[in-house]
């Protein structure tokens, strides 16, 4: 007997409606009808305005700033879908907020990334689709399946079209070496590392460079930037070491006003990022935004049809190389 595949339904909150619409356009599916609003006291109200009983529901909502607001919207959307008898609820979180609070590095501090994972499961999420987590071990914080995609193939396609010669990939800190190494291997170029010291939550200080960057074009690679302190400090020391054109490839650009100011005054010629979160409007002149709608849409399609998401990533990576 053939098993019936539940109908696919995609909903979104207010965090990044444009990305959700692009995903739906790629899949040829309408965006689900849900009302998300706030009461006068700031509490969130959600109503799903169509029947989703027995449907395969995907809720697209990055937990980007305002992080707490967007996280609560996501949790309430999930609860509404669960109480409306959805067959399965998958949370599509292109950017996973609170990911940096993943361990106790000081006495008496929380592990907030684990708390958020617990909240999502308690609300009724049965599967998570996300991209470029700050630390891959966060997948283990969930007791449900997590499909982890990478922005690398999307950025690689653009970088290949730029035909950057005499290139070296740079990690702006020691913690990002694994990610930078993946880009260096994909591009077939060498790797360098900037060693930094963090002075505060918004300030870092680059101290020295491991590797040869003199007379080379440089691509600084990182998963996330908010204040742009790390990458602009790295760019400054790389310029001092004789680097030529300096680019940055960032998966998630959660840019603040301070970040935009720093980027405009930095040696970075272009910051290449994705639309995993809405990008600051003031950064238009120095930021190139690439869409991950196709990547996420293909991930949703594969999950819905019970196909391998890993094989999707491998296929795309080979294609781009």
- Mean pLDDT for 281-307 is 93
pLDDT at 203: 61
CATH number at residue 63: 3.40.50.2020
- Mean pLDDT for 28-35 is 98
Residue 2 in any domain: the answer is: no
Is residue 2 over pLDDT 70? no
Pair 133, 159 in one domain: no
- Mean pLDDT for 88-94 is 98
52 vs 310: which has the higher pLDDT: 52
CA dihedral 224, 294, 30, 54 (to 10 degrees): -80
Is residue 197 over pLDDT 80? no
Is residue 266 over pLDDT 60? yes
Pair 158, 281 in one domain: yes
Pair 116, 196 in one domain: no
Residue 173 in any domain: the answer is: yes
Pair 278, 297 in one domain: no
**For residues 64 and 256, what is the distance between their CA atoms, to the nearest angstrom?**
12
The first and second tokens of residue 182, run together, are 């993946």
pLDDT at 195: 86
- Point out the catalytic residue in the list 196, 264, 288, 301: 196
Continuous H helices in the chain: 17-27, 67-83, 112-123, 152-162, 177-187, 229-240, 257-264, 293-304, 309-320
Residue 42 in any domain: the answer is: yes
- Mean pLDDT for 144-171 is 93
Look at the block and give the residue holding tokens 């929380």.
Answer: 110
Q: How many domains does the chain have?
A: 2
Q: What is the pLDDT of residues 94-115, one digit of tens each?
A: 999 999 999 898 999 999 999 9
Pair 49, 92 in one domain: yes
104 is catalytic: no
Is residue 206 over pLDDT 90? no
Rounded to two decimals, the pTM is 0.91
pLDDT at 34: 98
Residue 263 is part of which domain span?
152-290
């Amino acid at each position: 007997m053939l098993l019936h595949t539940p109908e696919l339904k995609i909903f979104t909150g207010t965090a990044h409606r444009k990305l959700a619409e692009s995903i739906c356009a790629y899949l040829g599916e309408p965006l689900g009808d849900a009302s998300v609003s706030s009461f006068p006291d700031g509490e969130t109200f959600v109503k799903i305005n169509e029947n989703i009983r027995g449907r395969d529901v995907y809720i697209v909502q990055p937990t980007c700033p305002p992080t707490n607001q967007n996280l609560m919207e996501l949790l309430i959307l999930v609860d509404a879908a669960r109480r409306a008898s959805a067959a399965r609820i998958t949370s599509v979180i292109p950017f996973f907020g609170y990911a940096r609070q993943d361990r106790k590095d000081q006495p008496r501090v929380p592990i907030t990334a684990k708390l958020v994972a617990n909240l999502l499961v308690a609300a009724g999420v049965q599967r998570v689709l996300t991209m470029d987590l700050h630390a891959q071990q966060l997948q283990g914080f969930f007791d449900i399946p997590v499909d982890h995609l990478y922005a690398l193939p999307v950025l690689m396609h653009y970088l290949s079209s730029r035909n950057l010669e005499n290139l070296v990939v740079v990690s702006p800190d020691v913690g990002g070496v694994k990610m930078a190494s993946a880009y260096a291997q994909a591009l077939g170029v060498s790797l360098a590392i900037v060693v930094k010291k963090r002075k505060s939550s918004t300030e870092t200080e680059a101290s020295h460079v491991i590797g040869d960057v003199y007379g080379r074009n440089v691509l600084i690679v990182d998963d996330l930037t908010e204040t742009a302190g790390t990458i602009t400090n790295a760019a400054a020391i790389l310029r001092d070491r004789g680097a030529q054109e300096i680019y940055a490839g960032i998966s998630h650009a959660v840019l603040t006003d301070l970040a935009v100011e720093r980027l405009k005054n930095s040696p970075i010629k272009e910051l290449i990022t994705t639309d995993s979160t809405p990008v600051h409007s003031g950064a238009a002149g120095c930021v190139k935004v690439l869409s991950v709608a196709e990547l996420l849409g293909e991930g949703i399609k594969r999950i819905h049809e019970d196909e391998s998401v890993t094989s999707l990533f491998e296929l795309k990576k080979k294609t781009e190389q």
